[in-house]
Chains A and B, each alone.
Chain A
Amino acid sequence: DVVMTQSPLSLPVTLGQPASISCRSGQSLVDSDGKTYLSWFQQRPGQSPRRLIYRVSNRESGVPDRFSGSGSGNDFTLKISRVEAEDVGIYYCMQGRHAPPTFGQGTKVEIK
């Protein structure tokens, strides 16, 4: 299985400040169709995961534009431009290029 490694695992952030989460995959996530299958999920306390971004940088409908995804190949980043209180939770990256789909360990975002 493809290993997904996130860092940091814990991210204390001041409200209004930016936050950045890294995700690295053990193999390239670029498919033969040229698309890169890397998604980001947010899991707020007590809730189910929610997809924020798919194919590296495509925001899900309704996701605030302070969330952005970038990267290529094996190295990806989720950025929150200005953290708000509702952004507290655990963030996961997921690769869908290689079966079975696999997730990173999660990064816990909390307010300082």
Chain B
Amino acid sequence: QLQLQESGPGVVKPSGTLSLTCAVSGGSISSNTWWNWLRQTPGKGLEWIGEVHHIGNTNYNPSLKGRVTMTVDKSKNQISLRLNSVTAADTAVYYCARANSVPDGMDVWGQGTKVTVSS
């Protein structure tokens, strides 16, 4: 059974870089699937950040204005998220999730990790 586990710092300083990883277990990261990052805030609800395929293709939400990078590490069976120049507005619970077809939505989600942007 596929499981996803996010990890990373719980606090990031303003203007710094948010870095999270998502460990994939119970399945191969090299399957024909898209690995997504989403975030959730009380104010904006659920927001799709972007997706990465194991062959390296990526698609990002234009609202993040070039601040986001997603990568796949096949040797560790994990995916990574980097978000630069963070502000308080980036405070959220961050989820990784699998989608065999993104238009059909994400069928497996991690438990989420809370990130607070604060000095």
* Complex contact B63–A100 (CB within 8 A): yes
The interface residues of chain B lying within 8 Å CB-to-CB of A106 are: 45-46
The interface of chain A, by Cβ under 8 A from chain B, is 1, 31, 35, 37, 39, 41, 48-51, 54-55, 60, 92, 94, 96-97, 99-106
Cα distance A35–B105 when bound, in Å?
14
* Complex contact A96–B103 (CB within 8 A): yes
* Complex contact A41–B110 (CB within 8 A): no
* Complex contact B61–A94 (CB within 8 A): no
* Complex contact B105–A48 (CB within 8 A): no
Cα distance A106–B61 when bound, in Å?
20
* Complex contact B103–A97 (CB within 8 A): yes
Decide if the interface of chain B is mainly helix, strand, loop or mixed: mixed
Besides A37-B104, A103-B46, 17 other A-B contacts (C-beta < 8 A): A31-B103, A48-B109, A49-B106, A50-B109, A51-B107, A54-B104, A54-B107, A92-B46, A96-B101, A96-B102, A100-B61, A100-B62, A101-B48, A102-B48, A103-B45, A105-B45, A106-B46
Cα distance A39–B55 when bound, in Å?
26
Does B111 belong to the interface (CB within 8 Å)? yes
Known contacts A48-B95, A48-B112; decide if A100 and B107 are in contact (CB<8 Å): no
The interface residues of chain B lying within 8 Å CB-to-CB of A35 are: 103
